[in-house]
């Protein structure tokens, strides 16, 4: 699987910030194992998003050995699995929308290259 981080800024060795294409994100997450509670919230967001996408940020955790390539100012991450850490219900709502609504739209994204355990520690330190 791949995801392109548009206008990527590398904040640290393992932290990247930029934008992701909403259609690409929705296609990527189509088979993501969202929890029932997340899907319930997503149905609510979907109703609002049908009239216009709500700005939001998604945080994604990828494994530390993820391959990264450069494409101008963008970074392309190639990976086998991902974990949505923040923005789950809005990201799930994207998967419920018709693709034409998502075309040519982006949202802010952060990508961390970390194990689940390290990501848990990073989030605890933010509190």
CB atoms within 10 A of CB 49: 20
Q: What is the structure's pLDDT at 26?
A: 97
Which pTM does this prediction carry? 0.90
9-34 confidence digits (pLDDT tens): 999 999 999 999 999 999 999 999 99
Alpha helices in 30-87 (DSSP H): 36-49
CA-CA distances (angstroms) from residue 122 to 75, 88, 113? 22, 18, 12
Asked if pLDDT for residue 127 goes beyond 80, the answer is no
Residue-wise pLDDT tens digits, 38-69: 999 999 999 999 988 778 999 999 999 999 99
């Amino acid at each position: 699987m791949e995801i392109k981080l548009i206008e990527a800024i590398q904040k640290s060795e393992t932290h990247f910030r930029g934008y992701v294409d909403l259609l690409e994100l929705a296609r990527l997450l189509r088979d993501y194992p969202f929890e029932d509670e997340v899907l319930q919230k997503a149905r609510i967001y979907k109703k609002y998003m049908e009239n216009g996408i709500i700005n939001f940020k998604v945080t994604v955790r990828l494994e530390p050995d993820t391959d990264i390539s450069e494409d101008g100012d963008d970074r392309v991450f190639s990976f086998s699995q991902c974990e949505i850490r923040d923005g789950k219900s809005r990201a799930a709502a994207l998967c419920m929308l018709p693709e034409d609504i998502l075309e040519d739209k982006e949202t802010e994204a952060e990508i961390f290259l970390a194990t689940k355990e390290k990501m848990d520690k990073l989030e605890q330190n933010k509190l």
